[in-house]
Chains A and B, each alone.
Chain A
Amino acid sequence: MDLAQSVVNGLLIGSIYALIAVGLTLVFGVMDIVNFAHGEFLMLGMFGGYFASSEFGIDPLLAAPIVGLVVFAFGALIERTIIEPIIKAPPVAQVLATVGLGLVLANGAAALLGNDFRSVKTGYQGEAFRVFGLSISATYLYAGMYALVVALLLSLFLNKTDFGKAMRATAQNRGAAELMGINPKRMYMVAFGIGVGLAALAGSAVIPYALVYPYVGQQYVLIMFTVVVLGGLGSVRGAILAGLAVGLIQTLTTLVLPTELQNLVVFSVFFAVLVLIPGGVMRRVRFG
């Protein structure tokens, strides 16, 4: 019973991780940039969902696509101004520039909104579905379903549409793509926008059960790096599977270890994967 419950919870949390990590891995796959500010875009999305609910009375789950679109536009703008100039710079510059961007976003939010923890109230918050003796929280279930659907849509977009194919072509070989008439700068802008937009969408989807505060991104940042590295940097399918795996690791370790140690196991797995199999568990196939 406990075990089955943990597995269900782990999969639901894990699908959210998957959605967050898919955005991060997309940016890396197309642009070869590790976005250390990804967690801060998640934070923006959480605040987006929060204000949609508290100011306009719109359910965060309904607001999520709008929040994602707004952050998509914002991300595209950021890409043009900050990321584009450093796209060929050494990794050091990229790491520190995105770290700086994260500081600006988190502290900007703190300066504007204060440091309080906030949460929203929705009608379905306390509800749970009972299936085979398992209790499935409504908020986790909705967010998890949401994440899987969106991740699936992204996969379809990348594999079935011309634009998605062009984006994958840019990821594989920028020069060749350019010769085929693809404008790589446009691809970079859109890819970065989609990547951070997905993080924001995920943020809005989790706000019914999660607390939001300006520095919440730091809490997620390493978990999503774990997911991305475990799945192979740049692999969308890998990120989805790894997201589920990390969710499972988290809930299963709480069965045997104190809660505060659950991330210790996750990060140890992360470190081990990084060192032993730098390409990730899924072999590095860009957008398989």
Chain B
Amino acid sequence: MSVSAEQGAPERPSKPARGDKVPALVLMAVAVLALFLAPLYLTNEYHVRILTLVCIFGAASVGWNLLGGYANQVSLGHAVFFGIGAYAVVIFQEKYELSPWLAMPAGVLVSVLVGLVIGWPTFQLSGHYFALGTLALLQVFHIVANSWEGLTEGSAGISLPILESGIWNLQFDGPAPLLYISAGLLVASLAAARWVRYSRLGLELDAIRLNPQAATLAGVDLFRAKMKAMLISAVIVSLAGSVYASLLQFLDPETAFAWNTSINLALFAIVGGIRHWWGPALGALLLIPLAEWASLTLTGNLAALAQLMYGALLVLLILVQPRGIGGLLDKVWRRFTVSKPTESKPTASTP
């Protein structure tokens, strides 16, 4: 993943935020290439699976960040979109023997509708209230999925039938093809996040994060900007959920509408840096292998230590480094770039 710092900090108006430093994209390309080559060198199927998880949750976290990071509207309910995307796949495939490729647009459509319906009331809430409202929504979906047994089979869950392997059914003999698909999803969501970051919408979301009142005065339509971010993020998270269901080949309400999913999406973004389009992906790349390693080494009661570590990390980061690794790299980058011109042209610059 990229280790370059990005410009575009709002406190430097002389250089409009039109793009990041080249290394961010170059390193991203290298990372993607590495992802695609990985199955050729990784002999352990389990490692390929971990990489797949990184891509899926990395993409979902990148999606969460559009609203939670860029605009600072912390949603604790994004697992709703994840679950909808996932349920679309298992319901299509198990009940109607339809391909996941048909289920994905259906899931996206439902997610967008849900996003529209919940965005309308919740965007009038600010701060704590928005987090509370989205949390309530997740609980509602959880209960509905548990009790609407005709559709979801309730808490027993749905196992996918074994079908002819191939791209159409998203069932494969080896783990590599699904890694490619999730890597594709990650790249697409990163591209979308980068595009938003440097578009007019990105500036508007920035303005909302810094000062909603001032943003309104400057002519930003708060509701529209938030809604756009919400819908793009709903699409991404829903697709990630669809791929996740294909990876698991099983789904129950506990997995689909998990409180942990909502927390993890926020956590990855915060660790990687919410101000950067690539931050959440970096967070996922660091934390998911760590959690998998922890769940292998810690058994029995100690298995809870993996989640405990996540929680402690969340608290610690917010106290010590709320901007995550991205923010840290920003500081380092600024030290390099600011010190050079003052050496060459000592008269021109005033600090």
Contacts and interface: CB of A to CB of B under 8 A. Distances in A.
B270 interface: yes
A259 B23 CA distance: 57
Interface size class of B (residues with CB under 8 A): 35 or more
B121 A93 contact: no
B140 A111 contact: no
A107 B310 CA distance: 10
Given A264-B143, A267-B143, A278-B125, A113 B312 contact: no
Interface of B: 68, 72, 74, 76, 121-122, 124-129, 131-133, 135-137, 139-140, 143-144, 146-147, 259, 263, 266-267, 270, 300-308, 310-315, 318-319, 322
B291 to A, nearest CB: 12
A275 B126 CA distance: 11
Contacts of B121: 271, 274-275
Nearest to B316: A100
Given A229-B132, A267-B143, A271-B136, A107 B305 contact: yes
Given A91-B127, A113-B301, A260-B146, A267 B314 contact: no
A172 interface: no
A58 interface: no
A120 to B, nearest CB: 21
Contacts of A233: 128
B350 to A, nearest CB: 31
A275 B133 contact: yes
Main DSSP-derived SS at the A contact region: helix
B97 to A, nearest CB: 30
A115 B300 CA distance: 9
A274 B319 contact: no
10 contacts: A82-B315, A93-B318, A100-B310, A100-B313, A103-B307, A103-B310, A104-B311, A111-B301, A264-B143, A275-B125
A100 B311 contact: yes
A108 B305 CA distance: 7
B251 to A, nearest CB: 19
A114 B310 contact: no
A92 B301 contact: no
Nearest to A102: B311
A275 B137 contact: no
Contacts of B139: 222, 263, 267
Contacts of A34: 128, 131-132
A275 B122 contact: yes
A94 B127 CA distance: 10
Given A96-B266, A107-B304, A274 B132 contact: yes
A270 interface: yes
B211 to A, nearest CB: 11
A122 B122 CA distance: 45
A18 B116 CA distance: 34
A85 to B, nearest CB: 6
B304 A214 contact: yes
B125 A274 contact: yes
Given A103-B311, A267-B139, A261 B147 contact: yes
B322 to A, nearest CB: 6
B292 to A, nearest CB: 16
B319 A97 contact: yes
- Can you list the 7 inter-chain pairs with the closest CB atoms, starting with the nearest? A103-B311, A100-B314, A91-B127, A110-B304, A107-B308, A275-B121, A107-B304
Contacts of A90: 72, 127
Nearest to A82: B315
Contact of A274 (B136, B146, B303, B322): B136
Interface in A206-236: 214, 218, 222, 225-226, 229, 233
Contacts of A94: 128
A91 B322 CA distance: 13
A138 B175 CA distance: 58
